[in-house]
Amino acid sequence: MAANFLARAHVVPLGIVAIYTGFLCAMFTPLIQKHFLFLHKIPFPLFADFDHPERYGLAPFKTRNFRLTTADNVSIGAWHILPEAFYQAQDTHDGPIADDLFDDALKQYPTIIYLHGNAANRAAPFRIRAYSSLSTRLAVNVIAIDYRGFGDSDGDPSERGVVLDARAAFDFVRTRSGHTDGSGIVVFGQSLGSGVAAAVTHELHEQGTPPQAVVLMAAYSSINAVISNFRIAGLLPVLAPLKLIPGAQHLVEKYQVTKFATDQRLPRLLLPLPDLQAAVSETASDEGPSKGVGSGDGSEGSTTSRKPHIVILHADDDAIIPVSHSRVLWDALVSSHTQHHGAPPAVRTRTIERFAEVHQFHLDPIPPSFSSSSSSNGDATGAKATYIRTLHGGHDHLTEGAVDQLGLAAGLLPRRA
């Protein structure tokens, strides 16, 4: 009996090693990586009726369901949620609102392009709450897309593919609103979407048509950092054993297909356009050349030297992506400013009692003649970087206070004295 027990005792650790080795091999497989990262095969709500958004909590006829076609000819599903003020100003809510009125709203009000996280689709309850809060408290249009492979969108997701999806949404708004230089448009990315938002904003900035602001909520510094520190149930570090093997972590990064290196892209938004283009050309061999949508070269519409507002929003109680990721991004912005201007930025910090700390600096040195009124429209001197660290909110919950603060930081609300 003792011999049998000892034999079985040897089998258990060998079995654990075999299972762990199989898991690692699977994670090196691009197909497995894609499903693990995007979770696009988890449809929630099930059998969503995107033609009737009111089923999921949005007001009747406040939202139009439509489709976008990307530069690589993929059809994706999208919603356009009207600003609450515009919706309430309509004569009746008893029937559909004409498409030309939706287009009028794009011309009259700013627009947030909402890029969601992994899993589920644009009808998920917590996303509905975010659209409602944004469209009501900030009086903005919300364009919510499902990436390729999600919801009713065609295709399969990839890093380049979902960036093209976001770019298609941006070009749609830019064309319909008449804001060809990107002003009045805010790119908002939550969780997985933060990497998409940073990537498309970097691309647009490189081409001289950046959005007014980019907002990263519950952001990660890079996919590699997320995977390297991933813990099952927040406790068991999956890749910790690899840290004992020299060079193993480098192999994980090498065979990782989807990277979303936001910690590299975000600091480049602080560079003037010529410096940015030089930086991009140096790394093009690693990331591939940037490609526009529509004409394919990003030359449509007017260009500008304006830099976008950069807003990082993260809650201390985020159990999915630790707030330390956003701190890494913030430190990268401070470092980029210091390197470019030869001195650290003048960071202003304020505390909102029992709610948040807000850190902010101007992307460019402010001339003596700078007036407070010019800082809210996203011009070259007024663009700011803001880090909003809230005490509560978790990973998915966009609180009213957070909406107000990001609205101020993104130039969607007037500055307070």
Establish if 24 belongs to a structural domain: no
Backbone phi and psi for residue 188, each to the nearest 5 degrees, phi listed first: -120, 120
**CATH number for the domain harbouring residue 45:** 3.40.50.1820
DSSP E strands in 70-162: the ranges are 75-81, 111-115, 141-145
Establish if 135 belongs to a structural domain: yes
Establish if 287 belongs to a structural domain: no
- Structural domain of residue 67, as residue ranges? 37-272+307-365+383-410
Cis peptide before 45 (omega within 30 of 0): yes
Could you list the pLDDT tens digit for every one of the 417 residues in the chain? 555 655 555 555 655 556 556 666 666 678 888 888 999 999 999 999 999 999 999 999 999 999 999 999 999 999 999 999 999 999 888 999 999 999 999 999 999 999 999 999 999 999 999 999 999 999 999 999 999 999 999 999 999 999 999 999 999 999 999 999 999 999 999 999 999 999 999 999 999 999 999 999 999 999 988 877 765 555 555 565 556 566 556 666 676 789 999 999 999 999 876 565 566 666 555 545 444 333 344 445 567 678 999 999 999 999 999 999 999 999 999 999 999 989 999 999 999 999 999 999 999 876 544 444 444 444 444 899 999 999 999 999 999 999 999 999 999 998 664
Backbone phi and psi for residue 276, each to the nearest 5 degrees, phi listed first: -65, -45
Q: What type of residue is 18?
A: A
Could you tell me the CA-to-CA distances from 311 to 48, 161, 215, 384, 410 in Å, in that order? 32, 24, 5, 8, 7
Report which of 219, 405, 214 is spatially closest to residue 314, judged by C-alpha positions. Answer: 219
Structurally, the chain folds into a number of domains equal to: 1
Establish if 21 belongs to a structural domain: no
Helix (H, G, I), strand (E, B) or coil at 316: coil
Establish if 240 belongs to a structural domain: yes
Establish if 374 belongs to a structural domain: no
Please tell me the distance from the alpha carbon of residue 28 to that of residue 48, in angstroms, as a whole number: 33
Establish if 7 belongs to a structural domain: no
Establish if 289 belongs to a structural domain: no
Burial 14-39 (b: 16+ CB within 10 A, else e): eeeeeeeeeebeebeeeeebbbebbe
How much is the pLDDT for 119?
A: 96
Helix (H, G, I), strand (E, B) or coil at 175: helix
How much is the pLDDT for 142?
A: 99
pTM for this predicted structure: 0.87
